[in-house]
Chain A
Amino acid sequence: MDIRIENLRKTFGEKVAVDVEQYEVKSGELLGLVGNNGAGKSTLFRLILDLIKADTGSVHMTGVYDGQSTDIDVSQTEAWKDWTGAFIDESFLIDYLTPDEYFHFVARISGLNEEQLQEELKKYEHFMAGEVSGQKKLIRNLSAGNKQKTGIVAAMLLRPQVLILDEPFNFLDPSSQSVIKHLLTKYNQETGATILISSHNLNHTVDICPRIALLENGHIIRDIANHNGEAQQELETYFDVQ
């Protein structure tokens, strides 16, 4: 599924949070979004997910779903929700459910049966490391890292064609960070899904994203090809990493 952004602008008072004239993410791309705090990464994701209203412009999703070609403006219809999975923050989690109940809920309201759900969950067993699934703990009582894992797994559970994850490496221990990198790359290769992730971790972003967009004050100031890790130097220079 392609994602096309046109004249997208969002301001909060005087501050320009997002101002993107034209940008396109092609189907099957794994795009990393980097930028300093307040650059507009999360706001851009929320605009793509129609969680905040754009002052001007639109976000379109174009491609083939269920054998039919489609081109929709995300603010005009809910159809894109069928093929999009996302995790931005804790406001995506129903914290009085256990992780298993939450997965079950997400699966059942999306038409997945119990057998399919268990099959999907098996793919994330290593990532969850026995601390998420099978626990008698409510999500609100999990550690920040395990909440993050719950949100990521729930977003990927339905094998979406568009996957959007805000700071997926946050709160995760080093081995889980490594596992999620592997999972995202594999998922991208297997499904051909369009994946958008944002991160402050330059190494992880450079490791897995063949394309990286650099945001500054709401503008995409650089669109960097990164097939062999060549973006590392450019990003380190920009962020002044010693």
Chain B
Amino acid sequence: MTKYQLYRLLKRTESLKDERHPMFERNKFMKFLAWFMIAYYAAIMIFLGVMLGMGLKGNYSAAYHRLDGGFFYLLIIDFWARFAMQETPAQKVREYALLPIRRSFLMKTYLVRAMMSWGNTFWAFFLVPFGLVSVVPVMGWWALVGWLLGYWLLFVANSLGYLFTRALCMRHMLWFLAPLALHAALVCVCVVPDHNVLRVPFVLFMQGFATWNPLSFITVFAVIAFGFLANYRLQMGMLHDEVGKKEDVNMKSVTQFTLLDRYGMMGEYLKLELKLRMRNKQVRTQFFVGLGLIVFFSLMSYFTEAYDAGFMKSFICLYNYMVLGMMTLTTIMCYEGNYFDGLMSRRDSIYDLLRAKFYFNSMLLIFPFVFLMPLMFIGKISVWMNLGYMLFTIGVLYPCMFQLAVYNKNTLPLNVKLANSNSGTMMQSIISIVALFLPVAIERLSVLLLGPVWGYIPLIMLGLIGLATHRVWLRNIYHRLMLRRYENMEGFRASRNS
């Protein structure tokens, strides 16, 4: 088989993998939604392209000069948006690593595919109409082609930068601070001084593409070549580590959490929740990212005035309470899918597990409560708001999110560093959005009607009712889950290892 044939075969296998994913195959609505969202965002981009192409000119000689002067803003947006959508080659190559195909060929193939991905051309929905309106009238069609090609090459280079960062983040989450610092520095250089020193060089650089100046093209090709080689070396190293399982399988010490023994059977399930988070890379990372966000938003609220407006203050306070739950409860039971048959062979174990999950997640709210306390001391948020959102999260939002236990049937890998991204279901997305905005709407309305103190009483009361009746609604969820058990077990089995 020639290398080209092999490349085609791998491409076909990847397409089949997506098409035949057990969850995607069954959910026609998700397929429709995916295409609808692409069309929706494309329409927005086209609209923005036309409007900005006509209106962005300002004091500049042409609108595209203004865009070129700040082209890195597009690259920054593009870079961070990729975290939600793009997998790294190492994630894809892992599945083929033990086949008799050279890993170097596999890695190069997937790097090339990442560079040639249609995702890198998505900005064309914005840039083509923008260029048609602003570049063509000034410089002609040939310049438009060069200008668009230049932007596409920049997005390809950006994708390599993203892949490199993502791979580093798998080694340690804190690596995401590197691009964050770089982007923050770039923005500061452009925004803070009176005169933006980078604007002219950027405009000249982008003008080079429109005029087919070899220097601009050579520069970006050099960046791409460097990015390709850097990625190749890093990702191959990671693949070797993953396949070779270099990590020590013996634990230095086995933490027993004996403190929880006093709670009997419930203590055992609580221990299980703790160990789930501490011993599985995927779940642990999710947990610490959630904690990091709580700290970040609390510090931002404390030291800056960015979130001092009424709505934002409420939103940030609620978000701090919601974030851990949103990260773990939207996928409730998905990790348990790995050992769901075992749980189902023991009486009432799912009900007890659900109870433990409720207690555990409620106890976790001590973190946002503590981090929001300084904001109470300096008077940025009231005690009532803090207490109101905490109880509302426990007694109203958690019951909403726990409903997903009935419907989730997609097993998520527990400990794979190079796991596939979790695309989520429609139900998960709807519940997350409702959970984020409904309470703020209730609070705003309530405060408007009852004032800044009494306005939180309804939140507190609703929360307390939910807390007091938790056994009732958890039992209801358990009964409904048991009615759907065959469908869920089939889903968990089908998606285990897929």
Contacts and interface: CB of A to CB of B under 8 A. Distances in A.
B87 interface: no
A10 to B, nearest CB: 11
B348 A92 contact: no
A140 B490 CA distance: 23
B251 A136 contact: yes
Interface in B267-311: 268-269, 271-272, 275-276, 279-280
A78 B271 CA distance: 24
Interface string B454-498: 000000000000000000000000000000001001100100100
A224 interface: no
B254 interface: yes
Contacts of A101: 254, 256, 275
Nearest to B486: A53
A110 B347 CA distance: 9
B339 A108 contact: no
A94 B272 contact: yes
Interface string B246-258: 0001111110100
Interface string A69-89: 000000000110110101011
A98 B254 contact: yes
Given A96-B414, A108-B268, A91 B339 contact: yes
Given A78-B347, A81-B346, A140-B415, A96 B268 contact: no
B384 interface: no
A100 B255 CA distance: 12
A141 B414 CA distance: 13
A225 B2 CA distance: 58
Interface in A199-238: none
Interface in A118-148: 136-138, 140-141
A84 B345 contact: yes
A64 interface: no
B340 interface: yes
B354 to A, nearest CB: 14
A8 to B, nearest CB: 15
B193 interface: no
B349 interface: yes
Interface string A135-170: 011101100000000000000000000000000000
B249 A109 contact: no
Nearest to B277: A96
B339 A92 contact: yes
Contacts of A96: 275-276, 279-280, 414-415
Interface in B309-341: 338-341
B249 A108 contact: no
B379 interface: no
Given A98-B254, A140-B415, A141-B249, A51 B339 contact: no
Nearest to B266: A109
A110 B346 contact: yes
A52 B342 contact: no
A91 B250 contact: no
B254 A49 contact: no
Nearest to A100: B254
Nearest to B342: A92
A6 interface: no
Contacts of A78: 347-348
B253 A92 contact: no
A51 B489 contact: yes
Contacts of A23: none
Given A49-B345, A51-B341, A51-B489, A137 B272 contact: no
A110 B342 CA distance: 13
A81 B347 contact: yes
Nearest to B414: A96
Nearest to B352: A109
B265 interface: yes
Contacts of B252: 136
B344 interface: yes
B55 interface: no
B275 A51 contact: no
Contact of A109 (B265, B415, B493): B265
Given A84-B345, A138-B279, 15 more contacts: A52-B486, A78-B347, A82-B347, A86-B345, A94-B339, A95-B414, A101-B254, A101-B275, A106-B346, A109-B268, A109-B349, A109-B352, A137-B249, A138-B251, A141-B249
28 contacts: A52-B489, A79-B347, A82-B347, A88-B341, A91-B338, A91-B342, A92-B339, A92-B341, A92-B345, A93-B339, A94-B342, A96-B280, A96-B414, A96-B415, A97-B275, A98-B251, A105-B271, A105-B272, A109-B268, A109-B269, A109-B349, A136-B250, A136-B253, A137-B249, A137-B250, A138-B251, A140-B415, A141-B249
Interface of B: 249-254, 256, 264-265, 268-269, 271-272, 275-276, 279-280, 338-342, 344-349, 352, 414-415, 486, 489-490, 493, 496
Interface of A: 49-53, 78-79, 81-82, 84, 86, 88-89, 91-98, 100-101, 104-106, 108-111, 136-138, 140-141
Query: Which 9 pairs of residues, A with B, have the shortest CB-CB distance?
Result: A92-B342, A141-B249, A53-B486, A81-B347, A91-B341, A96-B279, A78-B347, A136-B251, A108-B268
